[in-house]
Structure 1
Amino acid sequence: MPASWLSGWKGMGSMLLSLGAVTGGGLMGSGFDLKGPESVLEAVAVLGLTVGIHELGHFLAAVTRGIHVTKFSIGFGPTLLKWQGKEVEYSLRLLPLGGFVAFPDDDPESPYEADDPNLLRNRPIGDRTAVITAGVLANMVLAFAICVTQATTVGIPEPVYRPGVRLGEIKAATVAAEAGLRQGDVLLRVGDLEVAPAPSSVQDVVAQIRDNPGRELQLTVQRAGEQLVIPITPAPSPKDGTGRIGIQLASNAEILRKTAANPAEAVVLATQEYFKLTGTVLKGLYQFITNFSETVENVSGPVAILAVGAEVARSNAAGLYQFAALVNINLAIVNILPLPALDGGYLVFIAIEALRGGKRLDEGVERAVQAGGFLLLMTAGVSLIVKDTLNLTGLGSMLQ
């Protein structure tokens, strides 16, 4: 596959995999659905805008530098709309799971000579770096713009933490289920740990349970206005021996929203929210890399992301801003990782070229690495689509 087409078609692979690689953890429970056509369309619009802006960044960086581009597409699959410009064919396609910018560098039917200075491969390192990084920068700028819009309209969420953590789903046939814990209980104390009203409360409780496998812990639980003391003994995990009781936890917090009173405050609030979301993505990526064996099960693809976006739009329209900003930040960060077929992979080859004094690696080697990475990316992406689809409520049981 020509390197120029890898540069374009990686958009689909990165969209299939990278969106869920970081944000997927905790998004998938026992099942999820895509009820409500309006909410689904809103989630599709968010994903379409995210990938559209990413590819538009590549496109504008190229054309403003006079670099030849032959195709610019939003989506994949059958063409819905197409328009032939002077040099570029613009198209809108059926599946909003990616997009591509096609360069004619290695196209055998290209009207340009191989030594044309306006082919991407013949441009200086600076121009090529600008084109490759423009997609990531476009997503980051859009994410910040979304945060500013949120600050001036529905407001930035500000949690007010209360003592304890809330219990979510209680998995069947687990220590928690046998002990009588219920969804909605507020866990106030775990052994000698008093759960303080803090952002780290969930992590503190998880650490306390993990660090005490096989030891009885006294849980102080608030339920229906009463406090109960429930003994529980975390079961050792067969993977690493750490304690597990089979519950999902959430902060015991009330979410208030602060709306900016003026443009200056909007920028301040948006900046705080932007860096908070970026930190969330980076933390998720770190946990994914350092704790791969456990977190890989929570990785989701575009179907799950659509389901989450639809649920957010259906239950909390204001949360759609945060979802959109998070998706853009996620896509930007994962795309800049130094992995073959992603933007970061291309930057690695450019960096090697710069370190070698402008001497490039063998073209065959670069193509082989990029093609291999592309195939792995696509395989992982398709696998995630299958996994996500089987988790859709109703469909999974139909196929069992």
Structure 2
Amino acid sequence: MTLSGLLAFVVVFGTIVLFHELGHFLVARASGVMVREFAIGFGPVVARIQRGLTAYSVRLLPLGGFVRLEGMESSPLEGGDEAGEEPRLAPGDPRRFHNRPLWQRMATIAAGPFMNFALAGILFAMLFVPPVVERVDPGSPAALAGIRPGDRVVRIGELSTPTATRVVRSVLDARPGQTLDVWVQRDGQVHLLPVRMEADRPGGYLGVRMHGPRPLPAALYGGFVEMVDSTGEIIRVVARMLGGREALNVAGPVGIYSMVQEAASRGAYSLVGLAAVLNVNLGLINLLPLPVLDGGWLLFLLLEWIRRRPLEPRLQSAAQVLGLMLLLALMLLATYLDLRRLG
């Protein structure tokens, strides 16, 4: 464990959780629901600020977060109000979650995963910023190193996420006979291709022609397409695992930390790509129909629409306990697989 790896994990995972809960928060407020607490983490409160009727808190276990809405029963992971002095609203008050129209409640719940998918699209769009190789001169240092048309230059020497102009400048600054490390992105993978500069050609010669980053609309469109493709691929992999056609391969906090640390060591480009994939994963996981997840709440609301009345509180509570047990079992399995891989 390194300090830089730990910092990268906190930033990546914290951003994912922040955007997820921000989705719930913004749609709840727009729907007129009173938000009692906006929390990052679970368990005992570490820091807490009260702004009006909403508390903003950081809790001890940084493996998630929640938004506590007025009139919506808390998950066992969240805990109740420590102060115990919150003013209660009347049962018929429109600011209570269950007094809002069904579509507003469903939108509030679905907003969390939606924000993760949206953030994934934005992060994927950022990956279109590096310059793209259009042409490689035959016999050039770039060709001998294995650089191909279509490669995106994501790092050159110590310079990460370079522009086309800065790539040219790095090449011009290279000494004759020097080996210049060039990282390129190809087919979703980052490759290190050491380029040996020509010994008898001062001034630096790489032998490629590049074009700069895509315009913003094209980059955003490409990021959205990449997000959709990534979502579909994850669903297909899960289906193959459930069907026994592929070995079970899930990652828990230990595995995610290892992936983040490895991506951080390869540079900002790899870290952004991993953060995008993790957002897609979290969005999909939260849509699973487990009562402690967003998908479980959506299932409750769907049953309410079908039955024309809410599910009885005791059934909801029992389902939440069962869902929590299943979720903890999945986390323990993922952690076991993480430790076995590391061992």
Q: TM-score, normalised by structure 1?
A: 0.59
Deviations 1:174-193 (A, max 9, x none): xxxxxxxxxxxxxxxxxxxx
Asked if 1:135 corresponds to 2:112, the answer is yes
Alpha-carbon distance, 1:151 to partner: 1.5
- SS in structure 2 opposite 1:114? coil
Asked if the contact 1:103/1:120 (under 8 Å) is kept, the reply is yes
The one of 327, 331, 336 aligned to 1:381: 331
CA, structure 1 residues 370+259, in 2 after alignment: closer, same or farther (shift >3 Å)?
Answer: farther
Deviations 1:104-149 (A, max 9, x none): 4257955222332211122211111011001011111111111122
**Deviation larger for 254-263 or 47-56:** 254-263
What CA distance in whole angstroms lies between the structure 2 residues aligned with 1:362 and 1:327?
A: 35
The one of 309, 321, 328 aligned to 1:359: 309
CA, structure 1 residues 283+155, in 2 after alignment: closer, same or farther (shift >3 Å)?
Answer: farther
Deviations 1:70-91 (A, max 9, x none): 1111123454432111111101
What CA distance in whole angstroms lies between the structure 1 residues aligned with 2:331 and 2:234?
A: 19
Aligned to 2:224: 271
What CA distance in whole angstroms lies between the structure 2 residues aligned with 1:254 and 1:88?
A: 44
What CA distance in whole angstroms lies between the structure 2 residues aligned with 1:147 and 1:98?
A: 23
Aligned to 2:319: 369
Which runs of structure 2 are paired with 1:80-99 in the superposition (5 Å)? 80-99=46-65
Aligned to 2:7: 41
The code of the aligned residue for 2:313 comes to E
Aligned to 2:297: 346
Asked if the contact 1:301/1:388 (under 8 Å) is kept, the reply is yes
What CA distance in whole angstroms lies between the structure 2 residues aligned with 1:259 and 1:311?
A: 28
Asked if the contact 2:34/2:69 (under 8 Å) is kept, the reply is yes
What CA distance in whole angstroms lies between the structure 2 residues aligned with 1:259 and 1:290?
A: 44
User: Size of the alignment, in residue pairs?
Assistant: 263
Q: TM-score, normalised by structure 2?
A: 0.68
Alpha-carbon distance, 1:255 to partner: 5.1
Asked if the contact 2:32/2:94 (under 8 Å) is kept, the reply is no
Aligned to 1:177: none
What CA distance in whole angstroms lies between the structure 2 residues aligned with 1:295 and 1:137?
A: 29
Alpha-carbon distance, 1:337 to partner: 2.3
Aligned to 1:21: none
Alpha-carbon distance, 1:383 to partner: 4.6
Asked if 1:59 corresponds to 2:25, the answer is yes
Asked if the contact 1:58/1:134 (under 8 Å) is kept, the reply is yes
What CA distance in whole angstroms lies between the structure 2 residues aligned with 1:95 and 1:386?
A: 19
Asked if the contact 2:33/2:70 (under 8 Å) is kept, the reply is no
What CA distance in whole angstroms lies between the structure 2 residues aligned with 1:280 and 1:319?
A: 19
Aligned to 1:188: none
The code of the aligned residue for 1:287 comes to R
Deviations 1:270-321 (A, max 9, x none): 23322332222122221232228x633x222011111111101112431111
**Higher RCO, 1 or 2 (CA under 8 Å, sep at least 6)?**
1
